[in-house]
Copies of this chain bind each other. A is one copy, B any other.
Amino acid sequence: MDTSVFLEDLDAFAYREALASGETIVLIPVGSLEQHGPHLPLGTDTILSTHFAEAVARRLGALVAQPIAYGYKSQQKSGGGNHLSGTTSLDGAALIGIARNLVKSFLNQGVRHVVFVNGHFENYQFLYEGIDLALEELGIGPGAGQSVLLLSYWDFVSQETLAQVYPDGFPGWEIEHGGVLETSLMLHLEPARVDMDRLVDGPAAVLPRFDRLPVVPERTPATGCLSSAAGSSAAKGELLHGQVVEDLSLDLAGELLTVPAGVPA
């Protein structure tokens, strides 16, 4: 237990010792409970963001809070749509409320920096709003010593990695849902939770450039995946995971560990 980076494993007194440094960083993984096709589990987004948070926390000496395990409504253009069974979502107000409460709670306890590590595309703006409302309520503005960071892990995948993972060309983040990236990462990190025998290959979905509501269900492929996971491998997952953890750790260390607060890198 004493080497766990997970807050749920710490007792309150050990946690308070960590806080006493005045430099504690808490990472909050954010995911979803969402259909990811026949070969990946519903918890994929939460599982992956938690893995990234854990690995980064070990590098930075940070802590990992309980994940936000339910995400904002899946949109057809990025996740197949909220009408698909298995997809279990929060509305905007609930997700904003969770983010706002966690920021307030952690900063009030003396945490120096809170970092949301997002693994579900649709969450981003609602997390941002929750953070912004919390800081306004706390009266924390530019120049303050405490801060909150928000990021999606895929924004740290480098061009080099992309080229290796998608040798035939990257189809675009917008249809990477249950595709090669997520599947490869799961094969590397949680192989027992992937069933490649159930994978269904097929062409990538072609969706309109607008969102239409109510959705036209037929536009989502039967698998629920917007691009095929064929070509996924644990090796690609290891590459992706290693590079992202490396870059993410470096960026966060540069931002939060070595630079005085309020001064740009």
- A213 to B147, Cβ gap below 8 A? yes
Given contacts A91-B101, A142-B217, A210-B251, contact A198 B11 (CB under 8 A): yes
Knowing A84-B12, A89-B105, the reply to whether A210 touches B7 (Cβ < 8 A) is no
**A88 with B105: CB separation less than 8 A:** yes
Near B by CB (< 8 A), chain A positions 177-236 give: 192-193, 195, 198, 208-219, 224
CA distance A126 to B128 in the complex (A): 12
| Residues of B contacting A102 in the complex (Cβ-Cβ under 8 angstroms) | 70, 88
- A42 at interface (Cβ–Cβ under 8 A)? yes
Residues of the B chain whose Cβ atoms lie less than 8 Å from the Cβ of A150: 210-213
A98–B70 contact, CB under 8 A? Answer: yes
Task: Considering the complex, give the chain B residue whose CB is closest to the CB of A131.
Answer: B213
Chain B residues closer than 8 Å to A218, beta-carbon distance: 263-264
Contact flags A126-170 to B (C-beta < 8 A → 1, else 0)? 101101110100001111100111110001100000000000000
Contact with B along A62-97 (1 / 0, CB 8 A): 000111011011010000001111111111111011
Smallest CB separation, A103 vs chain B (Å): 9
* Interface residue A238 (Cβ < 8 Å from any Cβ of B): no
Report chain B residues within 8 Å CB of A42: 7-12, 15
Given known A-B contacts A7-B43, A8-B41, A142-B214, A94 and B91 have beta carbons under 8 A apart:
no
Q: How many copies does the complex hold?
A: 6
CA distance A264 to B221 in the complex (A): 12
Of all chain B residues, the one with the shortest Cβ separation from A225 is B12
Q: Which residues of B contact A216 (CB under 8 A)?
A: 142, 262-264
Chain B CB within 8 A of A240 CB = no
How far, in Å, is A259 (CB) from chain B's closest CB? 9
Question: Which chain B positions have C-beta within 8 A of A82?
Answer: 132
- Contacting residues, chain B, for A132 (C-beta < 8 A): 73, 82, 91, 213
Q: Which of A91, A144, A210 neighbours the largest number of chain B CB atoms within 10 Å of its CB?
A: A210
Complex contact B9–A212 (CB within 8 A): no
Is A66 a contact of B33 with CB atoms below 8 Å?
Answer: yes
Contact with A86, one of B91, B109, B262 (Cβ below 8 angstroms): B109
Nearest 6 pairs of A and B residues by beta carbon: A8-B43, A12-B35, A94-B97, A12-B86, A66-B69, A151-B210
Q: A8-B69, A94-B101 are in contact. List 14 more A-B contacts (CB 8 A).
A: A7-B33, A10-B42, A10-B86, A12-B87, A15-B85, A88-B105, A91-B132, A94-B100, A97-B97, A98-B98, A126-B129, A135-B214, A216-B262, A219-B264
